[in-house]
């Protein structure tokens, strides 16, 4: 494709975010490429791997204890995206450090670890332990605090909406993370997302990831009941692209906090809209679940000659 003249943040060029240099500006979003350990044996005529050229894989969110997730069904596919209610299913922090993170390093996957907790006080000790285990790893680039998941009844869904608590969570993590990037994933389900971004910056975040999913609901017409057992879930995909752009624009115009754009990106044109607003990088989410080569294809299409 022909890139617009204004576009200078090429996807295949390294860039600095906080204390860390990332190998590229196209990332995959948390939960949409699992832990970054699958599909390494897949290839196409153009791409040797779905990981080719990626700047980072943001891992599936990890919690202090293992989680089995919400009751099935957990995913409702729609014509313009999907509503999920996964419930942060994951192996737990201890198993992640012992089993998953070393494999990511061995496979040379550039990664950002997504962390969630039930109370703000848990973030500092988690980040401290993560740094003690992976501090010498070359491919671990940072942490993304998930303060905004709408699928868990306790924890992030509540304190991710409060600027003061967001700042508290970030400050606790920043204290234990001196030389890696610290990002905060923000909920769009608030009146003024810029207040949350500003609070994250005050706490010491290097950037915010905007946006997380929008609260949504679908109805099963066979039963007349909500399609998901927990009624509501996180709506993602093409339908939230205009919402994500508006929220990103609000953050950039009202704060000085760098932004990693996420929400509805499925094509190079989608990604360019975020870069036009001034983001530092973008994350591919729902589209990556449909096509594991989506993000890698975007790198090729948005690469410098």
Query: pLDDT tier at 194 (50, 70, 90 boundaries)?
Result: very high
pLDDT at res. 149: 59
Query: pLDDT tier at 120 (50, 70, 90 boundaries)?
Result: confident
Model pLDDT for residues 214-249, shown as the tens digit of each residue: 999 999 999 999 999 999 999 999 999 999 999 999
Active-site residue (options: 32, 149, 169, 294): 149
Please report where in the chains the tokens 């234990």 appear, as a residue: 176
pLDDT at res. 289: 94
pLDDT at res. 305: 75
Please report where in the chains the tokens 């969570």 appear, as a residue: 169
Q: What is the DSSP string of 20-59?
A: EEES-SEEE-TTSSTTS-S-TT---SS-S-TTTT-SEEEP
pLDDT at res. 157: 45
User: Does CATH number 3.20.20.70 belong to domain 15-65+91-212+236-301?
Assistant: yes
pLDDT at res. 158: 54
Query: pLDDT tier at 28 (50, 70, 90 boundaries)?
Result: very high
Q: Does position 154 have pLDDT exceeding 60, yes or no?
A: no
Partners of 21 in the β-ladder: 16
Give the chain's radius of gyration (CA, Å). 18
**Closest by Cα among 16, 40, 51 to 298:** 51
* 269 conformational bin, left if phi > 0, alpha if psi -120 to 50, beta if neither: alpha
pLDDT at res. 1: 81
Let me know if 76 is a catalytic residue: no
When pLDDT is averaged across residues 26-54 and rounded to a whole number, the result is: 96
Give phi and psi for 140, each to the nearest 5: -90, 115
pLDDT at res. 131: 97
Q: Does position 15 have pLDDT exceeding 60, yes or no?
A: yes
When pLDDT is averaged across residues 275-292 and rounded to a whole number, the result is: 97
Average model confidence (pLDDT) across the chain? 94
Cβ(234)–Cβ(213) below 8 Å: yes
**Closest by Cα among 172, 213, 197 to 83:** 213
Q: Does position 170 have pLDDT exceeding 80, yes or no?
A: yes
pLDDT > 70: percent of the chain: 97
Cβ(60)–Cβ(203) below 8 Å: no
Domain ranges for the chain: 15-65+91-212+236-301
> 218 vs 129, 240, 287, CA distance in Å?
40, 15, 20
């Amino acid at each position: 494709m022909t890139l617009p003249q204004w576009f200078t943040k090429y996807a295949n060029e390294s860039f600095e975010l906080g204390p860390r240099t990332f190998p590229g500006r196209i990332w995959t979003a948390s939960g949409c490429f699992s832990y970054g350990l699958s599909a390494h044996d897949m290839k196409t005529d153009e791409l040797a791997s779905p990981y080719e050229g990626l700047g980072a894989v943001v891992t599936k969110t990890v919690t202090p204890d293992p989680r089995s997730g919400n009751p099935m069904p957990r995913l409702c596919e729609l014509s313009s995206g999907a509503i999920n209610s996964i419930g942060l299913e994951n192996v737990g922090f201890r198993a992640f450090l012992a089993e998953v993170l070393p494999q990511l390093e061995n496979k040379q996957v550039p990664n950002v670890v997504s962390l969630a907790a039930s109370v703000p006080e848990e973030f500092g000790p988690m980040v401290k332990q993560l740094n003690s285990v992976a501090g010498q790893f070359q491919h671990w680039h940072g942490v993304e605090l998930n303060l905004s998941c709408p699928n868990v009844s306790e924890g992030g869904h509540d304190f991710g909406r409060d600027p003061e608590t967001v700042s508290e969570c970030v400050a606790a993590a920043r204290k234990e993370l001196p030389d890696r990037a610290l990002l905060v994933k923000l909920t769009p389900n608030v009146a003024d997302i810029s207040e949350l971004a500003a609070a994250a910056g005050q706490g010491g975040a290097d950037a915010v990831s905007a946006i997380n999913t929008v609260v949504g609901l679908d109805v099963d017409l066979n039963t007349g009941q909500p399609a998901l057992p927990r009624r509501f879930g996180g709506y993602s995909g093409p339908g939230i692209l205009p919402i994500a752009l508006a929220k990103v624009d609000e953050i950039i115009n009202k704060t000085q906090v760098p932004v990693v754009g996420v929400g509805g990106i499925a094509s190079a044109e989608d990604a360019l809209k975020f870069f036009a607003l001034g983001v530092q990088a973008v994350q591919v989410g729902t589209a990556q679940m449909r096509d594991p080569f989506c993000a890698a294809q975007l790198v090729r299409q948005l690469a410098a000659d």
